[in-house]
Amino acid sequence: MKKITCILVFFLCACLSAWSAEDIHLIHGPYLQNLTANEVTIVWIADKPSVGWVELAPDGDDSFYSTERSKFFDSRCGVKNTSTVHVVQLKGLQPNTRYRYRVYAQEVLEHKSNHVIYGNVAATDVYSKKPLSFKTCNTNASSISFAMVNDIHGRNDVLSTLISKCDLKNTDFFIFNGDMVSIFNDEEQVFGGFMDTATKLFASQIPMYYTRGNHETRGTMATEFQRYFSPKQSNIYYTFRQGPIYFVILDTGEDKPDNDIEYAGITDYDNYRTEQADWLRGVLQSNEYKEAPFKIIVGHMPPENGWHGQREIMNKFVPLLNEAKPDLMLCGHLHLYRHDTPNNAIHFPIIVNSNNSVFQAEAIGNELKVKVTDVEGKELDKFTIQK
Ligand SMILES: [Fe+2]
């Protein structure tokens, strides 16, 4: 009997050791979300349920290993999250300041009652590579430069080509203006479709602000959108200020009526856009909006008297925007390039960027200089807004 018990114990130990020896990997990210002058959210994905944390260090030439770095855990209500998706919001940062960072995940093998068994650890490389870093916003800066792409629909090659048109050293941030994939069914679609490419090219160190398109509202994982993008914001419509520009990010929802057969009775976008219009009214009356030298509205679908969703934007958002006089509205969705000048119905210019072009803008002093380039490098548009 004693012999059998010993064999069993040995067998269990061997199993546990083999189990815990399995490596954990960071499979997507890290990437930056919702960077402001004082905050940033960092998102990364591990291949096993784990706890996660960020180590933060000031910028400098010293080794990341020169001292123990401050740790910020992925936690909620005081308990560390056991998950594959990790999110940490860093708060209380200094404006216009560069920070270095490293992200971690440690596998949670078992959590029963008040016993937790941990497995291996994975982290981003700070030994053979320069540590990742980001710079907080300088809202007093008189100049800023950014780029926008949209309607990529999972075409990594097009995304790479459009981003290659940008000088990354002089691009402060990117906007993804919706329909980056055609459907939100699983993580592989999202990361394989565009986000791994974005991370590889810039998104670990240059922030990306995401505007949801109508295609991200579709698929079995569509309700999980905010686990990955703007995860610490109250909503996925939000505002931010970069240099002299105040941005209002709208979520324009779906294009067809809520009762359309395609939505299987699961959508409620008319009420959502009404709720958003109430929020927008407050934003447009705020001092932050009014006092900003430039004001840009970003929404995936342009206002038009066409399909139901676009009519809703025309009826619910445009009257408020006409009164608030933004300098520009940036849209996508139509898969063509269009520069609409103000008219009787819409009192501000609208750029509808195509699915094959990159919109780049630079605010310098009282000028907003814009150029739009297609995948072949052909200049589609160039103009300056003078204040
Ligand atoms: Fe669209």
Q: Say if residue 285 is in the same domain as residue 188.
A: yes
Given a cut of 90, whether residue 10 has pLDDT beyond it is: no
The structure's pTM equals 0.93
Which residues place a Cβ less than 5 A from the ion ligand 1?
Answer: 179, 213-214, 333
Given a cut of 70, whether residue 97 has pLDDT beyond it is: yes
User: At which of 114, 135, 156 does a domain end?
Assistant: 135
Return the C-alpha torsion angle 360, 336, 324, 256, nearest 10.
-130
User: At which of 135, 157, 181 does a domain end?
Assistant: 135
Ligand 1 centroid from CA 34, angstroms: 22
Q: Say if residue 242 is in the same domain as residue 118.
A: no
Ligand 1 centroid from CA 335, angstroms: 8
Ligand 1 centroid from CA 307, angstroms: 12
Residue 257 corresponds to which tokens in the numbers above? 């009526």
Q: Say if residue 281 is in the same domain as residue 377.
A: yes
Ligand 1 centroid from CA 180, angstroms: 9
- CATH of residue 252's domain is 3.60.21.10
Confidence (pLDDT) at 14: 44
**pLDDT class of 2 with cuts at 50, 70, 90:** low
Q: Say if residue 372 is in the same domain as residue 259.
A: yes
The average pLDDT across 63-74 equals: 97
| 15 is a domain residue | no
The average pLDDT across 350-377 equals: 97
Cα distances (angstroms) measured from residue 179 to each of 154, 282, 334 = 9, 27, 11
- Residue 328 pairs in a beta bridge with 296
Q: Say if residue 198 is in the same domain as residue 67.
A: no
| 2 is a domain residue | no
| 18 is a domain residue | no
DSSP 62-74: S-GGGSPPEEEE-
Q: Say if residue 130 is in the same domain as residue 153.
A: no
**pLDDT class of 22 with cuts at 50, 70, 90:** confident
- CATH of residue 28's domain is 2.60.40.10
Q: How confident is the model over 292-346, as pLDDT tens digits?
A: 999 999 999 999 999 999 999 999 999 999 999 999 999 999 999 999 999 999 9
Which of 289, 196, 185 has its CA nearest to residue 244?
Answer: 289
| 8 is a domain residue | no
Given a cut of 90, whether residue 4 has pLDDT beyond it is: no
Q: How confident is the model over 132-145, as pLDDT tens digits?
A: 999 999 999 989 99
| 1 is a domain residue | no
**Total domains present in the chain:** 2
Can you give the residue range of the structural domain that contains 123?
Answer: 23-135
Q: Say if residue 112 is in the same domain as residue 169.
A: no
Which of 57, 62, 195 has its CA nearest to residue 132?
Answer: 57
User: At which of 135, 160, 177 does a domain end?
Assistant: 135
| 10 is a domain residue | no
Ligand 1 centroid from CA 146, angstroms: 22
Confidence (pLDDT) at 21: 53
Q: How confident is the model over 102-117, as pLDDT tens digits?
A: 999 999 999 998 899 9
Ligand 1 centroid from CA 79, angstroms: 39
Q: Say if residue 149 is in the same domain as residue 124.
A: no
Q: Say if residue 339 is in the same domain as residue 210.
A: yes
